Structure formats: C-alpha cells, structure tokens
Structure 1
Amino acid sequence: MRRILAFAACALSAMTLTACTNDAPNTTTTSSAAATQQGSGSTSEGADLTFAMVTHSAQGDAFWDIVKSGGEDAAATMGVTMTYQADPDPAQQSILITNAIAQGVDGLIVSMANPDGLKEAITAAVDAKIPVITINSGIERYKEFGAMTHVGQSEELAGETAGEQFKAAGKKRMICVIHEAGNIGQEQRCAGAAKTFGGQAENLQVDISDLASAQNTITAKLQATPDIDAVFTLNGSITSAALKSIGDASSSAMIGGIDLDADVVSAIKDGSLAFAVDQQPYAQGWLPVVFLKQKVIDAMDTGGGQPVYSGPLVVTKDNVEQIADAIQRGKH
C-alpha cells in the first residue's frame, strides 16, 4: 500500500493544470491536449482515448465540482478526452453508464453511492472489456463488480476519526446529518462515528438539493433536543448550513464535518468549526484518469486490486493554514 500511495503522491505532484470545460449543466468534456503540448510522448499516446466519469452528484454540489476539476486537469495533462455526467438517481446514473458503454469509451470512472442500483450497468462495462475505476463511494464492493481499483477514503474510518474527535472533547450526544438518502457511504460514516463516539448517537436526514430546508431541519432538531452537544456533517455545504443552525437554535454544540471548501476553512480558522475530515476530492478526480491511461496504454494495473486511499486527513485550527491555499484554488 505504501508503494501505491507513494505513486499517487508522485502523480499529484507532477500535475500541469490546464483544462477546457463545457458549461452545460452536469456535463463537461475535456478535450485532448496532445495538439498543444509539444515534446510529450505521454500526451500523444492518449490522443484517441476517451474516458467517461459518471457520478451521483446533484447539480451545483461544490464537492463534485472539485472532483470534476481534478479529472479535467488530469485529462488535459495526459492528453485524453474526459466526459463528465452526473445524476443522483441511481436508475438515471445507470442509464448514463449504459450510454457511455454504447459510445465505446476506453475507460469508465464511477461513484457508487448506491451499489445495488448500479451493479448491472457496471458489470456490463466490465463484460465489454472496459476498465472501470470506482471513486468516492463503494469501497467495500468495487471488487465484487469487477472494477480494477477504487480511489477514495474508507467511509467508516472517516467516521471513526470524527467520532474520536467528539469523544476527546467530552461530548455525550451526537447527531450525524445524512444529506443523500440511500447513500451507503454516508451511512457508513455515521456508523463509524457512532462506533468511536461512545455516547448517544442518531442520524438526521436532510436534502442537499434544498439547503434552506436542510438548515431548518437541523435547527428544529437542535431546538427540540437541547442536550445535543455534537453535530457531525458529511458535506461542506451542509456544514455551512449547520453552522447557521447553531446560531438560529442558540446551541453550543460542537460541529465537525467531512470535506473542505473556502467557507469551511474560514470557519475552522475562526473557531466556529472544530474540525473537518478531508478526503481530498481533487485526487479522486485526478488519479483515476491517470490510472486508466496507464491501464489502456501500458497495461499497468495500479492498485493491485486494492483501494488507493485519498484520505482521511483531519484538519483543525492547528494545521489549516498549511493547506488553505490549495483549498482556495480548488486543488485539494
């Protein structure tokens, strides 16, 4: 695993960041950079390759914008074409995958928030000899579906890490805010947090596509249950909503979350947010494109069947300055 992670780090450190994006909602294409990058054998070798990234992102989700950006930048650097499409409905996501197979893509990158809902489409890609890499969600089942590797973090470990932070602070009652119904990865995060927290823990369901409603739901829960002293959020936008809820409910609960954006970084700096567990989404977009090109061109099977971890990294007031610039640029 050290060799795998070392390779991943090298791949990230070698990035040349250029991209061309399409403004169509939830869909983008990165054009081949082979024609504009002189003297690079690696780019010219991939000029005819097209990889499809299909995720479960809701439109406008800032986290997935970073993942997409990582993939776009990698495609431009590696001289391949990458298409991006997303739909939070597993049935619709499966259709997008099936369409990519029909178009004859050379590789497929898929997030598996709902593995059972995507199984038929993903196995069809594998049967068609299209190399598949799963990202973000689905670490426990990617092998079952025939994917070559998974790039992401252990969701349960990320949750356990958060639970330990709350426990160390002496908190006794925690809510874990799930923002995508049926997302197995979020359920695993909450289960992991409850495991190490040791106190009373329960899940609270909200909808990320309606942040105002999500904020109201969190506020109402805090008002109805004033002894809640820990709030665990699983997305940067939901973290920001929860911070507002704390004020609205006049609560003194400690907030910790998963994922970083500029607002989350500011909240860590000013102390209103205790910590964030960073899964480094840019790497989740960048690395699969690199790995797929190596698979198709050089028959390299990066990962050796094992996952390539992109996190977790705990960010607190003590270390936030070290990565704040990269986060501000959307490269973390």
Structure 2
Amino acid sequence: MRPFRRGLLATGAVVVLALTACSGGGREETDPDTTTGGGNAPGSSGYTIAFVTHETPGDTFWDKVRAGAEQAAKDEGVTLKYSNDPDAGKQAGLIQSAVDAKVDGIATTLVTPDALTGAVKSATAAGIPVVGLNAGIDQYQKVGALMYFGSDESLAGTSLGKRIAGEGAKHPLCVIHQTGSVALEARCAGVRSAVPGTENLQVNGADDSAVTTTLQAKLAQDKSIDYVVTLGAPIALDAINAKQQASSSAKLVTFDLNQEIAKRIKDGQVEFAIDQQPYVQGYLAVTSLYLYLKNGNDIGGGKAVLTGPSFVDKTNIDKILPFTEKNTR
C-alpha cells in the first residue's frame, strides 16, 4: 500500500475484553533522530537510549509508538535516538550502529528475531541492556532482551477468533501484510484455532493499491468469505474499498487502531478493533531502560508486560475516539 497509514490494556496474563476508561505520516528509513524540547532537557539524566523499529514509511501505528517513546524521554531527561527500517538485515545494522555508538540502552522491536539475534547479542556482550517491544514476545529472552512490552499475539488472535465464532463466522479471510512477521502469523494462527475455516491471504502491505486489488479479486471470486480480518488499521481501510468494489457482504474486523478506524467503528463499517496500545509500548520501553540504568529495576519480573489485547467497539468507541485524535490510542 502507499506508505502505511497504520495505527490491547492488560498486565501479566489478563485480557481486557471491554474498556472502561496493539497506521498520518510515517518516516522514511531514518537516520537516528534526537528528541528535543519540552519536559526535562534531553540528556539531563545522562542516558542515551536508541529506539529501533521495523516501521514501514507512512505507518501511523509507529507515530503512536514513537510519541510514547518521546514523551518518556522528555519525562526522564533521556536523549532518544530513533531509527527504523522494515528490512530485517538493515534493522540489525541499526542496532549494531547503536552498539558501536556506545549508547546506554536499546529498545527494539523483534518482528524477525532470527535476523536480529546477532546484533542484540552484540549489545548485551558490550554491557548495553536491551528491551523488546511490539513483536517477539516468545523470543525476546532467547535473543538476550531483558524485558518486553506488547501484546500476546496468539492470545489476541484467539480472542478475536472466539468472538467472531460466537457471531457465526465460518470462513474468515486473515490478511497478512508483511512476509515473515512472527507477530502477524501468530494472530492468524490464533484466529484459526477458534475458527478452523480461516484462510490466510498474503498481500504487499507497502502498496495500498495492490492490497485493495488483491483483496477485491479474492472477495469477488469467493462469496463464502464471511469475515475479513485485517492485521493493521491501514489494511482495514484498504479492505473497506475492496469490499465495496467486490460487492462483498463480509464483515470487517481488524487488529490495531487509529483515528480513521475509530471513526469507521462508530459508523459501523468496521465491527471492532483489537487495540494493543502502541503509545504505551513506546513509553514503557524507554521508561524501563531508564529505571534499569538508574536503579537496576526489572519491570515484569522476568515476564512480558502485556499492553493488550482489548476490544474497541460501539460500546466504548465514544470514550476512546478523543484519545485517537490525540495520537495516544
């Protein structure tokens, strides 16, 4: 799709299925960027933290992750160096560059853990603490990360699958928009565990028009598809267009949330979204490193800290919508 426009709260093993209260523009494969302004002065704590993600340019999901990380950096007086690349080898290179720069800590996504293991182990060998976020919940300890902040994607997929199974789903189409992502594959596997008739469809998530065309052709060819399950908010927007073009009556549900999807939930075009709270992932990743460096604190006590899954639907959308407008949900 064109640069992604992409955008769950639980702690420990608790799943929040209803809230009472896991994409505008992304960034090209960036050189490290230092946060400035607001809050404490950057670097006043004496710590520099590298924040490395697999963000695809234009994905609004990462705007939320980065916003959380930057707010934490301001709150703690940390100098934050953000960089990203969706290519696993290049992401590993960014981690290694942070190691070579002798940063104090590294927060990184682990969507392709096998490709990143060498770089992460290089960091730990150099005495640089690493925390994982967003992807790699089952692998973060194996690669050497101390803590993890994100959703349990298998649990999230199963939760979604059970909900649509209860609504009568027989043949959902689970749309995978990034090849090799352990998180996305876990989501679809979770859906299939609850609805055995689930079918996966691989699309090129970096090209909106290609996603729409591929989905439209599939929905036009197979009218037995009763649910479309997308794994990112921008893909859900593509699915709305594809459904219209294919005259499909399939219901649409999605993982992840942004302002546009929140509006589509309110107007009924999307049944519900599963939110993993990316802002919280970014905030906790930076804060945890600051506390580890300053006090030796270990958040989670050796277990992943879950930020989801939670359902966002018509019962709670009015409360959540304003926060999507602020880029914090």
Q: Which residue of 2 aligns with 1:145?
A: 143
Q: 1:165 to 1:24 in 2, by over 3 A?
A: closer
Q: Which residue of 2 aligns with 1:194?
A: 192
Q: Which residue of 2 aligns with 1:13?
A: none
* Residues 1:124 and 2:115 are matched in the alignment: no
Q: 1: distance between equivalents of 2:188 and 2:39?
A: 44
Q: 2:227 aligns with which of 208, 227, 230?
A: 230
Q: Which residue of 1 aligns with 2:132?
A: 134
Q: 1:83 aligns with which of 81, 84, 89?
A: 81
Q: 1: distance between equivalents of 2:136 and 2:129?
A: 16
Range with greater deviation from structure 2 (182-191 or 163-172) = 163-172
* Residues 1:158 and 2:156 are matched in the alignment: yes
Q: 1: distance between equivalents of 2:37 and 2:262?
A: 34
Q: 1:167 offset after TM fit, Å?
A: 0.7
* Residues 1:26 and 2:24 are matched in the alignment: no
Q: Deviations over 1:267-320 (max 9, x none)?
A: 100111111000000001111111100000111111111101010011111111
Q: Deviations over 1:226-247 (max 9, x none)?
A: 1101110000100110011111
Q: Which residue of 2 aligns with 1:56?
A: 54
Contact 1:4–1:302 (CA<8 Å) still a contact in 2? no
Q: 2: distance between equivalents of 1:36 and 1:64?
A: 24
Q: Find the residue that maps to 2:148 and give its secondary structure.
A: strand
Contact 2:171–2:198 (CA<8 Å) still a contact in 1? yes
The one-letter code sitting in structure 2 at the alignment partner of 1:124 is S
- For structure 2, the 5+ residue unaligned runs are 1-8, 13-26
Q: Deviations over 1:75-111 (max 9, x none)?
A: 0111111111111111100000000000011110111
Q: 1:59 to 1:316 in 2, by over 3 A?
A: same
The one-letter code sitting in structure 2 at the alignment partner of 1:26 is T
The one-letter code sitting in structure 2 at the alignment partner of 1:107 is G
The one-letter code sitting in structure 1 at the alignment partner of 2:175 is V
Q: 1:4 offset after TM fit, Å?
A: 6.3
The one-letter code sitting in structure 2 at the alignment partner of 1:172 is K
Q: Find the residue that maps to 2:215 and give its secondary structure.
A: helix
Q: Which residue of 1 aligns with 2:71?
A: 73
The one-letter code sitting in structure 1 at the alignment partner of 2:67 is S
Q: Which residue of 1 aligns with 2:169?
A: 171
Q: 1:36 offset after TM fit, Å?
A: 5.2
Q: 2:324 aligns with which of 314, 323, 327?
A: 327
Moved over 3 A (4+): 2-5, 23-27, 31-37
Q: 1:251 aligns with which of 248, 254, 257?
A: 248
Percent identity, aligned pairs only? 38
Q: Deviations over 1:188-219 (max 9, x none)?
A: 00000110124x11111111210111011111
Q: 2: distance between equivalents of 1:33 and 1:263?
A: 28
Higher relative contact order structure (alpha carbons within 8 Å, sequence separation ≥ 6):
2
What TM-score results when the alignment is normalised by the length of structure 2?
0.89
Q: 2: distance between equivalents of 1:221 and 1:113?
A: 27
Contact 1:54–1:85 (CA<8 Å) still a contact in 2? yes
Contact 1:33–1:79 (CA<8 Å) still a contact in 2? no
Q: 1:119 to 1:255 in 2, by over 3 A?
A: same
Q: Find the residue that maps to 1:60 and give its secondary structure.
A: coil
RMSD, aligned CA: 1.9
Aligned residues: 306
Q: Which residue of 1 aligns with 2:292?
A: 295
Q: 1:24 to 1:187 in 2, by over 3 A?
A: closer
What TM-score results when the alignment is normalised by the length of structure 1?
0.88
Contact 2:132–2:149 (CA<8 Å) still a contact in 1? yes
- For structure 1, the 5+ residue unaligned runs are 6-22, 38-42
Q: 1:31 offset after TM fit, Å?
A: 3.3
Q: 1: distance between equivalents of 2:48 and 2:220?
A: 51
The one-letter code sitting in structure 1 at the alignment partner of 2:30 is N
**Structure richer in helix, relative to its length:** 1
Q: Which residue of 1 aligns with 2:212?
A: 215
Q: 1:263 offset after TM fit, Å?
A: 1.1
The one-letter code sitting in structure 1 at the alignment partner of 2:117 is K
Q: 2: distance between equivalents of 1:146 and 1:218?
A: 39
Q: 1:26 offset after TM fit, Å?
A: 3.2
Contact 1:53–1:110 (CA<8 Å) still a contact in 2? yes
